[in-house]
Structure 1
Amino acid sequence: MEIFATFDDSVFLEARDKVSVTLCSYNAKLCEPEWFCENTALNTDDPLEKQKVYKFRGDLAVRQGDHQKALDAYSSCQEWIADNNLTIRRDVLEGMARCCTKLGQRDRALDFADLLSKDASNTCHLTSLLLLKVSIYQHFGAVGSKMSALQQLCSLLPFNPWHWYNLGQMCLQLLESGRTTGSCSPERCESSEEQNDGGTEEQQQEAAELNDSRIWLKACVCFIRTRLLLRILRQQQSSFVLQRTESTLQMTDEVLQRLSPKETTLQALTEVVSEDLIPEKMREDCQDGDSLASVCVQSFRERWWNKVLQTGVLQTDGLQTRTQC
């Protein structure tokens, strides 16, 4: 077999003389600082220029803390965004949702989040959406909804230690604040009509899980999973990234000591949450496209929570009092 049998003969031919192309002169546009704030900035018939002006005005207003002004600018920007410019549209909708959150307009903020969800077509889109919902729910004290969003993040990105850590921190806060099922209803800020109806079946299920023993167990699961993932990641880290990992690992160990699960419980939970921590699976596990529809609280419950409950540790070691934390 000839070594060069797969090469084309043209590879060994002399290069042809390239034809030089004369470039036309180009004059770069010079803009003064905050040029978009001038009234004359809108004296144009170009929709793209108007979109830029309103978008920049909104971004500047957010930076200055004037969220009502930013919301008005983003609303005007929407009118000039091309239908095929999904990136800017998503950016503006998220900005409007965050402005409404700061202004105390919970329903409008969630409406904008719902609009974003309709265009979510990949993992990055859904991750941004869920992080947005987490910030909205936290601002308005919707404990159950925030926990649901964090659980969806853990289902979407099961090998991201920081989402598990944040979910664990939330469980720890619930324990330390002495919340119980009655005060931790999934939709604390829902309308009275929705509360009278009892909420959806998913919300009722989540409410049943918001009691001290189950929150304690879920906190243990989250911090154990966080510790396992961080130990894997630190093998390929250095500098300040490694320092952050080491610091978080130390805090995770301290939290687990405060939660004080029995050694048998710790071992059982570690086995459950480490089943999928295989290098090949961690590289191949990707959720895009149609599989995004399966990322929900139910998938988290089936993938993690039900397996944990099957170990029986809730009955043997789960009746911890919140004073131990």
Structure 2
Amino acid sequence: MEIFGSTFDDSVFERAREKPTAVSQLSYSAKFCEVEWFSETIDTEDALEKQKILKFRADFAYRRKNFQEALNAYTSCLSYIPGGNQTIRRDILEGMARCCCYLGKRKQALEITETLKNEASNTCHLTCLLHLTANIHDHFGDLRGQIESLQQLCGLHPYHQWYWMTLAESCLRLLQTLSTLPSTSAPPRGGDDGAEWQTDAQTQGRLKDERDLVWLKACVCFVRSRLLLRALKGQQSSFVLRNSERAMQKADEALQYLEPRETTLQLITEVMLEDLVADRIREDQLDGESLAGLSLNSFQDRWWDRILLTGILT
């Protein structure tokens, strides 16, 4: 029979070690800045301080919608950024692109985003840049450019229902725009303008082909977004669920408007369902991953070409 306490470890009864006395902390005085301190004249030769001041100036001007002033400050700030500080450099260039966008400088804005896209090191950076590029195209009413950027976003994040929904809505807007253009023109009754009419007929033929392709792409994207919304519905609640239900209703209404045949809808659904595995959808987390081996043409290769190979438009 064991005596109570005989199995305790001896360390239980050892005297507690004394904690080392805390090292006295050095006194710290917080730096207080005046309101809009960055608006004062720069009287320092420190490149880092100049960078900070100009960055604050630019951000403040941008917030107040003084886009030309913000662009000037961002441009000046860029020259003081060390070569290794890619984070600040990327932030400054994105600010410059937004300023150029609001100032109507579309070419300069897209050149900056293209530079940043070539320098992107992970999927998080690329996602932000594709968002920015799509917004620039949208600002200038370039639906084709916006659709191209959204397709790249869907290829990068194939299980993101809202990217697909935005792409579907952009395709629908482009289709409605194309539908307002004249589709036929009467042949000439006389004169020497037969060649001109033939050229016009070719243009109308290309317009009809584009309408058909955009119509099909809108159907594909609405079907895909509806499938994703349904697959994720069981994991949602509260306002998130309500948003998804509203989006599903919008997709259903859009498909009713587009009026695809039942066989067409079935073919599209079969192709867009092939990779929708529940585990794969939940594990689709690409933020921060390397861009090695990534192709931005995956939308074309992965879905669009396969849809067209079914002969759905013939």
User: Structure 1 length as normaliser, TM-score?
Assistant: 0.77
The aligned amino acid for 2:260 is P
Paired letter, 2:300: R
Question: Could you tell which deviates more after superposition, 239-248 or 51-60?
Answer: 239-248
| Off by >6 Å, runs of 4+ in structure 1 | 12-15, 180-183, 207-210
The alpha-carbon distance between structure 1 residues 179 and 90, as it changes in their structure 2 partners (threshold 3 A), is farther
Residue equivalent to 1:295: 296
- Within a 5 Å distance, the mapping from 1:120-159 to structure 2 comes to 120-159=120-159
Task: Answer yes or no: is 1:108 the counterpart of 2:91.
Answer: no
| Residue of structure 2 aligned with 1:27, choices 23, 26, 29 | 29
Give the distance between the partners of 2:87 and 2:135, measured in 1 at CA.
Answer: 21
Query: What is the alpha-carbon distance in structure 2 between the residues aligned to residue 240 and residue 15 of structure 1?
Result: 54
- Indicate the residue corresponding to 2:8 in structure 1: none
- Show the 5 A alignment for 1:229-244: 229-244=228-243
For 1:30 and 1:224, the matched residues in 2 are separated by: 56
**Mapped partners of 2:163, 2:93: distance in 1:** 23
1:224 alignment counterpart:
223
> Quick one: structure 1 residues 96 and 14, their matched pair in 2 at CA, closer, same or farther if it must change by over 3 Å?
farther
SS of corresponding position for 2:94: helix
Q: Report what 1:53 is aligned to.
A: 53
Supply the AA of the counterpart residue of 1:24: L
Q: CA deviation at 1:82?
A: 2.0
Q: Over the residues paired in the alignment, what is the CA RMSD in angstroms?
A: 2.9
In structure 1, runs of 5+ residues without a counterpart are 1-11, 184-206, 316-325
Task: Identify which range, 152-161 or 111-120, moves more after superposition.
Answer: 111-120
Q: Which residue does 1:195 correspond to in 2?
A: none
Larger Rg: 2
For the residue of structure 1 that corresponds to 2:23, the secondary structure is coil
Residue 171 of structure 1 aligns to a residue whose secondary structure is: helix
Distance in 2 (CA, whole Å) between partners of 1:24 and 1:177 is 68
CA distance in 2 between counterparts of 1:167 and 1:154 reads 8
**C-alpha distance in 2 between matches for 1:85 and 1:182:** 53
Instruction: Answer whether contact 2:159 2:284 (CA < 8 A) is retained.
Output: no
Instruction: Give the letter aligned to residue 35 of structure 2.
Output: P
Distance 1:253 1:158 in 2: 20
Cα 1:212–1:24 change in 2 (3 A) is same
- CA offsets, 1:47-75, max 9 Å, x none? 22221211111111111111100000101
* DSSP 3-state at the match of 2:265: helix
Letter in 2 for 1:164: W
TM-score of the pair, normalised by structure 2:
0.80
For 2:118, the equivalent position in structure 1 comes to 118
